[in-house]
Amino acid sequence: MMPAERLALHGGTPVHTGAWPKWPQHGPRALALIGEVLAGERWTLSGSWTGAPALERVFAVEWARFCGTRYCTPVDHGSSALFAAIAALGIGEGDEVIVPGLTWVATATAVSRTGAVPILVDIDPETLCIDPRAADAAVTPRTRAIIAVHLYSAMAEMDALRAVAARHGLALIEDAAQAHGAEWDGCRAGSLGDVGAFSMQQGKPLTSGEGGAAVTSDEQLHRRLELIRSDGRLFRSAPPPHGHPELDEIGGIRGYNLCLSEVHAALLLDGLERLDEQNRIRAANAAHLTAALASSAALLPIRPYAKNIHRSYYHYAVRVVADAFAGRPVDAVCAALEAELGLWVHQPYRALDDHPLFAAFEHPSRFALPHAHHAVGHTILFHHRALLGDASSMNAIAEAFLKVERLAAML
Ligand X SMILES: *Cc1c(COP(=O)(O)O)cnc(C)c1O
Closest Cα partner for 45 from 30, 55, 35, 59? 55
Minimum CB separation of residue 173 from ligand X in Å reads: 11
Q: Is 77 in the site for ligand X (CB under 6 A)?
A: yes
- Compare residues 107 and 285 and give the one whose CB is closer to ligand X: 107
- Compare residues 211 and 325 and give the one whose CB is closer to ligand X: 211
The residue within the footprint of ligand X, chosen from 78, 101, 255, 271 (CB under 6 A), is 78
Q: Is 107 in the site for ligand X (CB under 6 A)?
A: yes
Minimum CB separation of residue 411 from ligand X in Å reads: 30
CB 317 within 8 A of CB 379: yes
Q: Is 106 in the site for ligand X (CB under 6 A)?
A: yes
Minimum CB separation of residue 163 from ligand X in Å reads: 23
Dump the DSSP string for 8-31.
GGGT---S--SPPPPSS---HHHH
Q: Among 41-49, 90-98, 99-107, 116-124, which window interacts with ligand X (CB under 6 A)?
A: 99-107
Q: Is 212 in the site for ligand X (CB under 6 A)?
A: yes
Q: Is 79 in the site for ligand X (CB under 6 A)?
A: yes
- Compare residues 278 and 393 and give the one whose CB is closer to ligand X: 278
d(CA 25, CA 234): 32
CB 82 within 8 A of CB 175: yes
Q: Is 208 in the site for ligand X (CB under 6 A)?
A: no
Minimum CB separation of residue 349 from ligand X in Å reads: 9
Q: Which residue number has the CB closest to ligand X?
A: 78
Instruction: Kindly state the DSSP code that residue 384 receives in the 8-state scheme.
Output: G
d(CA 205, CA 191): 17
- Compare residues 196 and 389 and give the one whose CB is closer to ligand X: 196
Edge to edge, what strands does the sheet with 117-121 contain? 71-75, 212-216, 195-199, 171-175, 143-149, 96-100, 117-121
Q: Is 177 in the site for ligand X (CB under 6 A)?
A: yes
The residue within the footprint of ligand X, chosen from 109, 191, 201, 285 (CB under 6 A), is 201
Q: Is 118 in the site for ligand X (CB under 6 A)?
A: no
Exposure string over 142-178, b if 16+ CB within 10 A, otherwise e:
ebbbbbbbbbbbbbbbbebbbebbeebebbbbbbbbb
Q: Is 149 in the site for ligand X (CB under 6 A)?
A: yes
Minimum CB separation of residue 178 from ligand X in Å reads: 5
- Compare residues 175 and 226 and give the one whose CB is closer to ligand X: 175
Q: Is 205 in the site for ligand X (CB under 6 A)?
A: no
CB 123 within 8 A of CB 149: no
- Compare residues 78 and 271 and give the one whose CB is closer to ligand X: 78
Q: Among 76-84, 161-169, 231-239, 356-364, which window interacts with ligand X (CB under 6 A)?
A: 76-84
Dump the DSSP string for 176-188.
-TT-TT-EETTEE
Closest Cα partner for 208 from 152, 272, 281, 151? 272
Closest Cα partner for 317 from 301, 295, 328? 301
Q: Is 88 exposed, middle or buried (0-12, 13-18, 19+ CB in 10 A)?
A: buried
Q: Is 103 in the site for ligand X (CB under 6 A)?
A: yes
DSSP E strand boundaries for 268-358: 299-301, 315-320, 345-346
Near ligand X in 243-302, by CB under 6 A: none
d(CA 44, CA 230): 11
- Residues in the interface with ligand X (CB under 6 A) total 14
Q: Give the interface with ligand X as residue ranges (CB under 6 A).
A: 77-79, 103-104, 106-107, 149, 175, 177-178, 199, 201, 212
